[in-house]
């Protein structure tokens, strides 16, 4: 059972949907129990759901991109043997003559 919960928690779409539903529930509570001034239609709840899902999905994607950039990039030994090593050219040492040229 815990494995299924972990899979659901790692799914970006499920996490975004949970945040969308949470935002709609909070708006419903605010409009019906706290702020009784204005009547909200179902279309407004749908807009808030889509906004909550898109913001949370974007945030999850940005966090995932941030995690991918910190991956260890060491090359395994098997691949190091197949990668051709660059040929090192011997360095040329030559004196640099400085002075005052008369042209």
Domains of the chain, by residue range, sit at 2-68
At 76 the pLDDT is 61
At 27 the pLDDT is 84
For residues 82 and 41, give the distance between their C-alpha atoms in angstroms, rounded to a whole number: 65
For residues 13 and 68, give the distance between their C-alpha atoms in angstroms, rounded to a whole number: 19
At 18 the pLDDT is 87
Q: Tens of pLDDT along 39-96? A: 778 888 888 889 888 988 888 888 877 776 655 556 566 655 666 667 777 677 777 7
For residues 23 and 29, give the distance between their C-alpha atoms in angstroms, rounded to a whole number: 10
Residue 37 DSSP class = S
At 28 the pLDDT is 84
Contacts 24+ apart (CB under 8 A), 68-71: none
- Contact in structure between 12 and 64 (CB atoms under 8 Å): yes
pLDDT beyond 80 at 34: no
């Amino acid at each position: 059972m815990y494995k299924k919960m972990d899979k659901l928690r790692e799914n970006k779409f499920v996490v975004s949907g949970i945040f969308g539903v949470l935002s709609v529930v909070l708006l419903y509570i605010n409009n019906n129990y706290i702020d009784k001034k204005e009547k909200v239609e179902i279309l407004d709840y749908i807009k808030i759901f889509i906004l909550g899902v898109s913001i949370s999905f974007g945030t999850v994607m940005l966090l995932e991109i941030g995690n991918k950039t910190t991956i260890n990039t060491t090359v395994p030994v098997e691949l190091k043997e197949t990668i051709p090593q660059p040929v090192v050219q011997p360095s040329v040492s030559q004196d640099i003559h400085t002075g005052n040229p008369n042209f």
